[in-house]
Chains A and B, each alone.
Chain A
C-alpha cells in the first residue's frame, strides 16, 4: 500500500486485567485479515509464556494491520501493546507516546476499574484520543447503560456511540475498527525533516542482533543510513527496516513519518537501544531529541543463587541472555558464606524481580535461592565519606557510621472512597508521610504519600490489592533520600550468622520483624539431629529467639520380604532432598526457608 500519512492510525488498548484486552487484539487481527484464527496462536500479542499465564503484558509489542474501511478506503492500523504494571510504568508511557489514540475497553458487567482509570488519565496526559468500547456485552450481568454513564461521568467522554461488543464471541468488532478510523487522528510530522524516531521497545534476536521497535515522528529512515541513538550516543549502520506483522517481520525500504516499524543494525545489546531514546540520522541530526527519556534504573537489589552450587555458570549464562533483552536488569557476581557463589541483581521493582526469577527457573530450568530484596542506602561514615550500599552484608560496623539515609518515593494511590481508611492505615504502617488527598470523582479518591522505598518493595502492591479488594491502583516515582534510623538485622542459626538472611530495617520495626522471621524460619527449617536455636540480633544483641526441636524419629521399621531396592530408593531420595538444602554451619536449611523470610504480610 502507498504511504499516506492520513491513512495511518496508531493506537493502543487500555483495559483492566481480565477485561479482554488480548482477546480484543486477537479479534482486530482476525477482522483485518491479518491472520486467520487457525494459524493464530491464541492471543498473539502476548507471546511470552509467562505473560499469558499471568494475564499481564510485560513488554510492549506492536503489530501493523491493513484495514479496509466500510467506505472502501484502505488504512494502516498500528496496534501497540502496553505493559500493565507499575514496575513498567515508564514503558507504558513510551508506548503511549508512540500513539495518537487509545481504545479503552470497559467490562460491561464490572464497569470502570481503578487501574483502567489511572491508565486512561495517563493516556489523556499524552494527548491521546480515547475510543471507549464496552466489552462482554453478552454476559447476563452486563449493564451497558450504567457503564455508559460511568464513562461519561468519570472520564468525561461522550458515550452514546460507544460500540457494545463481545471480543470473545466476536460481536460488533467492525464497529470498533470504524471508530478507530473516525475518532483517532492520523499522525502529523514532516516526512522531509531530519529523522526523529522514538524507541518504544527492543528485543534481541540471535540472527539479526537487536530489533529496535520505533515510531517515526519526523523524517524517514532507510537501509544503509547511519543512525545515532541520541541519549546513548552510539551510532550504527541500518541493515534492515520493516514492519511488524502478526506472523513475523516484513522488511521494506524505508520508514516514514507517522509509521511504526523496526530497524536492525547489527546491534549487540539492548542496553544500547534504551526505550525512550531518540533515533536520528548521524549526518543530519534533528535539533532536539524527543522529551521524556529516562534511563531505566534498578531500584531493588537481591542476591540470586543457584540452589545447586554447580549451576553457577548456567545462572551466569542465563542472566546474560536475559539481559540481552532487558536492559533494566543488572547483575554482578557476589559471594555468600551461606549460599556460595551467586549474583547481586538489580531490578526495576519487585514484580520485575519475580518475573526475572520465574523466567530463570522456567526458561533456563534453574532452581534458585534469592535473598531479601534491598534498596540502595546512603551511609555517611564518621571519616566524612559517603557510601552507597545495596547489600546488607557489606554494611560497615555501626561505630563507623555517622548517619544513614534511605530512598523515598512519591506514591500515588487511587482508591474507591470506602477503602481510603484501609489505605491510610497501610501507609501509616509502612512509615508513610501523608501529603494530600483529593476526590477525583463521586466515589474515588487519590492519595499522595511519601513512602520509604524499602517499605514498598516487598509486598506493598499485594497489600494494597488485598485491602481494597483489588480496586486500588498504585504508582510511584523516586523522590530522593531521607535520613533515617536504620539497623542491620542478623539471623543466627545454631550460633552461626547466616549472611544471606541479613537485612536492613527501620529501628522501630526491628523487633516485630525479628520475631516474625524467627517464627517463619522455625516453620520452614525441618527438624535436624540436633536442636537448632534461631536467633535474630541487632548489633550483637539478641532480640528474638525460636528453637527447632531435635528430630525424634526417622526410621524404617520393616523391609518388606527382602525388598532392599525400595529402601535404597527411599534413602537416595532423602539424600537428594538434603542436597537441595544449604548447609549453614551444622544446619541444613531448605530453599523455602530463605524464601519464606521475604514474605512478611501473611
Chain B
C-alpha cells in the first residue's frame, strides 16, 4: 500500500518565510490544474493507497467545486482503502463551515492547520493572512463539521519572538486539544522575503530553549514526541508522514510534487516540474511531468533509512549504524539504545545533522 501526496501550489498570498512551491494570484488556473492532476493520476490508475495527503500551498484556497472534483476523481482512479488516513492542509484564514462539511462528506478525516502562532503581531510580521482568533474559529468549525483528528502547525524562532510569546502560543495550541502538533523552527531560506531583507535568525541558544520548552510542555499534555518536529497523542501520529520517515512508497501528484516508487524492482525518487503553467502543459501533452528522477543505489537506500529513520524517536534497527560509532554517541549521551533499536536523545536531536553526516 502506498501513500498519495497531492500538491496544490496556490496561496492567497506568500508568507515571508516560505520557499515552498506555491504561487499567489494564480487561482484562475485552478480548474485546468485539477484537470491536469487527475490526468497525471491516470499513470498510477488502480494503485492501492492507504494514506492521502493534500498539501500546499493552500489546498483550501481551491474553490469548493474544484477540491470536490479533485477528491472524487482520485477516489475513482485509485483503490483507496476504507481505513485510509486522509489529510487536507488548511489555512485558518480560509476556514469555512460548508467547505469543511463538504470535505468531511468526501471522506477526508484529518485536517492539518497552519496556525503557526497565536501572537497577532508575529502573524502579521511573518506574512500570514490570519489572526489568532481565526485559529479558534477554524478549530470550532472543524469540530462542527465532524473532524476529531486535527493537527496544528506551529513555528518558533521567529524574528522578534520571545520565550514568553512562544510559551503562550504552545499553551493556547494545547488548549484546543489537537490530536497532533508539528512545531518547526524557522529556517531563513534563500529567495524568501526574509532572506532578501537580511532577517537574522535568533541565537541558537534561544532556539533550543524554545524547542525544549515545547517538547516538555507537549509531553506533559499527552502529546508525545515521535519525530524531531512532530507530536501526537498515542495512535494519532501522521500515518502519511511516517511513510516518508520509514522510507515507504508514495505517489506524488501536482506541480513540484515528489514521489518515491518502485519500477521493475528499482527504487525511484522523482519530482515534477515546479511552474504551474508548464506542469499543466506538460501533463496535457504527455500525461507525465517528471523533471527529475533518481534511481537509488543500495547505498542511497541505506543512507535514506538512516537519515529519515533517525528523525523518529523510535530510531532505527541497530544494524544500520556501525557499532563503534553507535557506542561513541551513546557513551556521550547523543544516542540511546532500546531493545535492538538506536535512536537520538534530546541532546542528539539538537545536533542531529552533524551526527547524521558522520553516519552516512
Contact = CB atoms under 8 A, between A and B. Distances in A.
Interface of A: 528-530, 551-565, 567-568, 570-572, 574-575, 578
Interface in B310-360: 311, 332, 334, 349-358, 360
Interface in B202-234: 204-205, 207-208, 228-229
B355 A529 contact: yes
Contact of B308 (A555, A560, A564): A564
Contacts of A574: 353-354, 357
A551 B99 CA distance: 47
Contacts of A555: 185, 228, 349-353
Contacts of B303: 568, 572
A530 B269 CA distance: 36
B307 interface: yes
A566 to B, nearest CB: 9
Nearest to B155: A557
Nearest to B209: A552
Given A529-B332, A562-B259, A571-B357, A554 B304 contact: no
Interface in B272-320: 292, 294, 300, 303-304, 307-308, 311
Nearest to A528: B354
Contacts of B171: none
Q: Can you list the 8 inter-chain pairs with the closest CB atoms, starting with the nearest?
A: A552-B204, A574-B357, A553-B204, A557-B184, A575-B357, A554-B353, A557-B185, A562-B258
A571 B258 contact: no
A572 B299 CA distance: 12
Given A552-B208, A553-B207, A564 B353 contact: no
Contact of B354 (A551, A559, A561): A551
Contact of A564 (B55, B304, B334, B357): B304
Interface SS, B side: mixed
Contacts, number: 102
A565 B229 CA distance: 19
B59 to A, nearest CB: 12
A561 B352 contact: no
B257 A571 contact: no
Nearest to B7: A561
Given A571-B353, A578-B357, A560 B20 contact: yes
Contacts of B187: 556-558
A552 B202 CA distance: 12
Given A571-B353, A571-B356, 11 more contacts: A528-B354, A529-B351, A552-B204, A553-B204, A554-B351, A556-B187, A556-B352, A565-B269, A565-B294, A570-B353, A574-B354
Interface residues of B, number: 45
B8 to A, nearest CB: 11
A561 B358 contact: no
A552 B350 contact: yes
Interface string B256-268: 0111100000000
A567 B208 contact: no
Contacts of A578: 357-358
Interface string B52-94: 0001000000000000000000000000000000000000000
Contacts of B244: 559, 562, 564
B208 A553 contact: yes
Contacts of B260: 562, 564
Interface in B237-265: 244, 247, 250, 252, 257-260
Contacts of A567: 307-308
A224 B358 CA distance: 65
Nearest to A566: B258
B205 A552 contact: yes
Given A529-B332, A568-B307, A554 B350 contact: yes
A529 B334 contact: yes
A561 B258 contact: yes
B71 to A, nearest CB: 18
Interface centre among B55, B269, B351 (most CB of A within 10 A): B351
Contacts of B357: 571-572, 574-575, 578
B188 to A, nearest CB: 12
Contacts of A575: 357-358, 360
A563 B204 contact: no
B353 A558 contact: no
B20 A561 contact: yes
Interface centre among A552, A557, A578 (most CB of B within 10 A): A557
Nearest to A577: B357
A495 to B, nearest CB: 16
Nearest to A555: B352
21 contacts: A529-B351, A529-B354, A552-B207, A552-B208, A554-B350, A555-B353, A556-B187, A556-B228, A557-B187, A557-B228, A561-B7, A561-B20, A562-B244, A562-B257, A563-B271, A564-B258, A564-B308, A565-B258, A565-B271, A568-B303, A575-B357
Nearest to A559: B244
A568 B354 contact: no
Contacts of B292: 565
B5 A562 contact: yes
Interface centre among B228, B260, B356 (most CB of A within 10 A): B356
A563 B353 contact: no
Contacts of B269: 564-565
Contacts of B208: 552-553
A570 to B, nearest CB: 8
Contact of B352 (A528, A554, A564, A572): A554
Contacts of B334: 529
Nearest to B157: A557
Nearest to B303: A568
Nearest to A530: B332
Contacts of A562: 5, 244, 250, 252, 257-260
A421 to B, nearest CB: 43
Contacts of B259: 562
B184 A558 contact: yes
B53 to A, nearest CB: 8
Interface in B27-75: 55
B307 A553 contact: no
A561 B112 CA distance: 13
Interface in B152-211: 184-187, 204-205, 207-208
A553 B352 CA distance: 8
A530 B332 CA distance: 9
Interface in B129-144: none
Nearest to B256: A561
Contacts of B308: 559, 564, 567
A280 B5 CA distance: 85
Contacts of A552: 204-205, 207-208, 350-351
